[in-house]
Amino acid sequence: MMLRLGDTAPNFKAKTSAGEIDFYDYLGDSWGVLFSHPADYTPVCTTELGRTASLKSEFDKRNVKVIALSVDSVESHKGWINDINETQNTEVNFPIIADEDKTISEAYGMLHPNASATLTVRSLFIIAPDKTVKLMITYPASTGRNFQEVLRVIDSLQLTAYHSVATPADWKDGEDVVVSPSIKTEDIAAKFPKGHTVIKPYLRTTPQPNK
């Protein structure tokens, strides 16, 4: 069955570069980013894992735990991590799952036969503390991810999970947000005391409520 937004992320036990884990136990009460790579020792993936490691403080302050996956072995991962650390001037600080039998890849729909019969595509899942899937992004093997976009989406997901707002196109943390359509215009002032603007009856904005 295809994994969809709002579905419960499948739990799994796996060997990783940091030892054996239970995925749910690893996440605990944190948000999670699970992202896959076609293979170890590939150029784009090397830059991506290095970039992720360099953003540790950004993920930490958002209460996000990161974990990567490819279909190669733990020993392969450990050798590759040395290359990542050397070439990307960083220290890989998150586990890389060894999914040699592709069980996890299949459960998460990371195998796309028309793209590759054996390699995972570049899939990324953002998982909420309740273990539901909140976002899925899939890139082809040729295109590296934009991790500033990943952080931006996490900011949006965390904001909209706790406030009756949505974030407009190109929104960044700290900018005005859109009031949820479920809120009547006459009720906005009480709910959002920082003020609001009615652009159209269906398009109302307000300063970001948690800033």
pLDDT of residue 141: 77
Nearest Cα neighbor of 93 from 66, 53, 61 is: 53
Answer yes or no: are the C-beta atoms of 64 and 151 closer than 8 Å. Answer: no
Long-range contacts, 20-25 (Cβ 8 Å, 24+): 21/67, 21/95, 21/97, 23/67, 24/131
Catalytically active residues, by annotation:
45
Residue 132 to residues 85, 165, 177, Cα–Cα distance (Å): 32, 20, 24
Taking residues 28-49, report their average pLDDT.
94
Asked if residue 210 has pLDDT above 60, the reply is yes
pLDDT of residue 119: 56
What domains sit in the chain, N to C, each tagged with a CATH number?
A: 13-145 (3.40.30.10), 163-206 (3.30.1020.10)
Asked if residue 112 has pLDDT above 80, the reply is no
| Cα distance between residue 42 and residue 49, in whole Å | 11
| Cα distance between residue 153 and residue 134, in whole Å | 10
Asked if residue 45 has pLDDT above 80, the reply is yes
| Cα distance between residue 111 and residue 105, in whole Å | 6
pLDDT tens per residue across span 152-187: 999 999 999 999 999 999 999 999 999 999 999 999
| Cα distance between residue 16 and residue 11, in whole Å | 15
Answer yes or no: are the C-beta atoms of 26 and 65 closer than 8 Å. Answer: yes
